[in-house]
Amino acid sequence: MLRLTPEEAMLRDLRIRRLLGRGITARVYKGRWNGVTVAVKIIEHSERSPGTASSGILRESLLATQLSHPNIVQSYFTSTMTVSKRNALAKAWLSAEAGTSPATKQSPEPSSSAQKGDDNHDGNSSDSHTAVTMSSEMCWRRSAAPGLLAAAAWIIMEFCEKGSLERAVSRGTFIRREDRQPEMIGVYKALLDTASGLGYLHSIGVVHGDLKNANVLLKGASRDLRGFSCKIAGFGLSRVLDMDATHDTDMIDISTCKFGTIVHMPSELLLTGRMTTATDVYSFGLKMWELFTSQRVFEQGLSIGQIFYTVAYQNWRPTVPPNCPPGYAELMTACWHQDPEQRPTVPQLLRSLQKLYVAEKQRMAAERQPAAAGAQGAAGAGGEHGV
């Protein structure tokens, strides 16, 4: 009988179901854990010394469980083990469930829909993986370099069944059907959610480092008129700053870490490796543009090198749409200011967004009043005519 560590014992109740999405080094599955529907992120890597790619994986798993905020995806549990240990546990546990020998028990193959992945998180596909625990499909094999031990990091997270903000934008969630103009109340609430989560991160000295709509997930919320709330995810590139650092002075060397999404990076990060809280604010400004236009920056399909040159050496920014409200445009362009010191802090962002949100609600209420008065007047005139 295998001797389990407390962490391994915690994984005993985990059930992996369908594949939600995959990347180069990770896969995310829907699962059940302690009676709760969860998302399970599994990242395979090689055990190396700190300072390499695997240290970023460890950083994400350690950081995730220490974060707690309504607008941050909650991580419940993390574990890292070698692939050989994982396979031994899988065989033992599957055998115990099936009452057969490890050699005769076969893991079911994933359905074609699961292999394609689904970032909708709608939960409609078949749960054919209910009895599968830590099978070879869940943690695919990767060859490690000689002398390196293959390992897997497991992160059990809050399940956000509404998918990503990027997906919602592409589906036209923030466009009014009647006139194809931006639905500004929804835009402001999504931005306020994101800024609230980002403000929490900065308040505890964490720079996200890869803020984009694909890293903001939507969680169902029955008390919210939208039916969802926005939660920041994707902490693999996050960095913990010196708590004495200012908005613009703390720096790291990006030569020791991976790049995030290059289209959301400011020139100072691309050219000098300067990462600060102002880096996230720049990315937030591009999020504002994408939410307002329901488009993605650089949709024309430039290469990474072309994007790098355009942003780093030509100071490229998206064109502000002519129908953009002045206050919105002013805040958005302030976020992507060339000088990091001139960008607003997140607390300033939150105050400005709240004012814009309230002003938009007042504007909409004022527009409705004449229409309501006109309808009442017409009804009254009809009644007098009837007398």
H-helix segments, 142-253: 165-170, 184-203
The dihedral built from the CA positions of residue 136, 142, 144 and 148, taken in this order, carries a sign that is negative
The number of residues in the chain equals 387
Give strand pairing partners of 82. Answer: 151
Q: How do the residues of the chain divide into helix, strand and coil, expressed in percent and rounded to 5?
A: 40, 15, 40
41 is in an annotated binding site: yes
Burial class (CB in 10 A: 0-12, 13-18, 19+), 164: buried
Q: How far apart are CA 20 and CA 78, in angstroms?
A: 19
Q: How far apart are CA 117 and CA 85, in angstroms?
A: 27
Q: How far apart are CA 24 and CA 76, in angstroms?
A: 24
Q: Which segments of the chain are extended strands (E)?
A: 15-22, 26-33, 36-47, 75-82, 149-158, 206-207, 216-220, 228-232, 239-240
Annotated binding-site residue numbers: 41
Annotated binding-site residue numbers for ATP: 41
